[in-house]
């Protein structure tokens, strides 16, 4: 079966990273495992207490060993990661970051700027660990759909297409005061959870098997203790975007050194000239296709 590993990678080892594994079974993608950290993914733990969580260092061998166990001895075809990746050391904003800003900045979906120490060694460890295990970074359309691949994705941009939204979806727990300034804490909680439920409902249409209680939260839980749920949603979005890449329904924004892959679903919300430029840089137009079932 074809499969994808989605990682919402924290830019520091001090913070946890959400992980989702999905596989093409029958006629749909299915979520096989979802966890709020590398350790939880490997141990098979999903449900966490609603409190601030500690981070874990990425161990490619251990994470991929768990994937083999869940996939009957196979490795994922692609690992889709929300973190700056490149064929060269990252010290500042990349052409990929600027390309996303030009294309989706009007929708409030520009990327964060990487620095020498963010993601720094955390990003290097992840990319080099996956490369050692046979996963090559892909930055061009003619590499799309190849097995043994590592791609960079950006959930905010993916959400535009998934939710058919012309502007950045308001789903970050730490940003509720910015999203809904002047609203009470209780009202902001209601709006955040409603947004999560809407996002998860759309994801479940494409990916059955997502835990049903991910957005079921007790009334007395502080917003700053919900980060693990947000990370889990981001991991699912990474997996969904990786699946679209495997289907040949994504194009790269960037250059040969680095690229952020954007699903075709989100292209209607990009500036038109940016789509043409990205397609030309990638040397091919997007040719959506469904994955072969083996």
pLDDT recorded at residue 51: 60
Tokens of 1: 């079966």
Tokens of 40: 């939880």
pLDDT recorded at residue 274: 64
Pairwise CA distance, residues 6 & 240, whole Å: 8
- Angle at CA of residue 231, ends 228 and 233, nearest 5°: 115
DSSP secondary structure of 9-62: --SSTTS--EEEEEEEETTEEEEEEEESSHHHHHHT-----SS--------HHH
- Angle at CA of residue 123, ends 3 and 127, nearest 5°: 45
The owner of tokens 């830019």 is 11
* Cβ contacts of 13 within 8 Å, gap of 6 or more: 55, 56, 57, 122
The owner of tokens 């660990």 is 129
pLDDT recorded at residue 224: 79
Contacts 24+ apart (CB under 8 A), 268-272: 268/161, 269/104, 269/107, 269/160, 269/161, 269/165, 269/166, 270/103, 270/104, 271/102, 271/103, 271/104, 271/106
Tally DSSP H helices, then E strands, for the chain.
9, 8
Write out the chain's pLDDT in tens, 294 residues.
899 999 999 998 888 899 999 999 999 999 999 999 999 999 987 656 666 666 778 999 999 999 999 999 999 999 999 999 999 999 899 999 999 999 999 999 999 899 888 899 999 999 999 999 999 999 987 766 677 999 999 999 999 999 999 999 999 988 999 999 999 988 999 999 999 999 999 999 999 999 998 888 888 888 878 888 999 999 999 999 999 999 999 999 999 899 999 999 999 999 886 665 565 555 433 333 333 332
Tokens of 173: 């727990």
Under 8 Å between Cβ of 20 and 239 = yes
Pairwise CA distance, residues 25 & 9, whole Å: 26
pLDDT recorded at residue 286: 39
pLDDT recorded at residue 225: 81
Under 8 Å between Cβ of 121 and 58 = no
pLDDT recorded at residue 294: 28
Q: Which residues of 89-105 are buried (b: 16+ CB within 10 A; e: fewer)?
A: ebeeebbbbbbbbbbbe
| Dihedral of alpha carbons 72, 74, 80, 84, sign | positive
């Amino acid at each position: 079966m074809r499969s994808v590993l989605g990682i919402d990678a924290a830019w520091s080892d001090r913070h946890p990273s959400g992980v989702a594994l999905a596989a093409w079974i029958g006629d749909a993608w299915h979520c096989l495992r979802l966890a709020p950290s590398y350790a939880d993914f490997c141990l098979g733990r999903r449900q966490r207490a609603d409190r601030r969580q500690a981070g874990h260092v990425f161990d490619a061998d251990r994470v991929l060993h768990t994937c083999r166990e869940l996939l009957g001895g196979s490795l994922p075809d692609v690992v889709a990661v929300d973190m700056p990746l490149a064929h060269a050391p990252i010290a500042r904003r990349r052409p990929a970051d600027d390309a996303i800003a030009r294309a989706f900045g009007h929708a409030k979906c520009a990327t964060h700027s990487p620095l020498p120490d963010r993601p720094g060694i955390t990003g290097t460890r992840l990319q080099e660990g996956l490369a050692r295990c046979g996963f090559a970074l892909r930055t061009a359309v003619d590499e799309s759909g190849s097995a043994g691949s590592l791609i960079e994705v950006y959930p905010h941009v993916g959400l535009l297409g998934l939710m058919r939204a012309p502007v950045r979806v308001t789903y970050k727990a730490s940003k509720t005061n910015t999203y809904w300034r002047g609203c009470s804490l209780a009202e902001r909680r209601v709006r955040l959870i409603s947004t999560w439920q809407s996002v998860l409902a759309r994801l479940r249409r494409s990916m059955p098997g997502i835990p049903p209680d991910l957005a079921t939260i007790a009334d007395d839980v502080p917003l700053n203790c919900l980060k693990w749920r947000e990370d889990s949603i981001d991991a699912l979005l990474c997996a969904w975007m990786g699946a679209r890449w495997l289907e040949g329904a994504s194009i790269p924004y960037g250059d040969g050194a680095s690229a952020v892959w954007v699903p075709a679903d989100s292209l209607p919300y990009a500036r038109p000239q940016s789509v043409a430029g990205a397609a030309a840089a990638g040397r091919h137009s997007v040719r959506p296709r469904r994955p072969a079932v083996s």
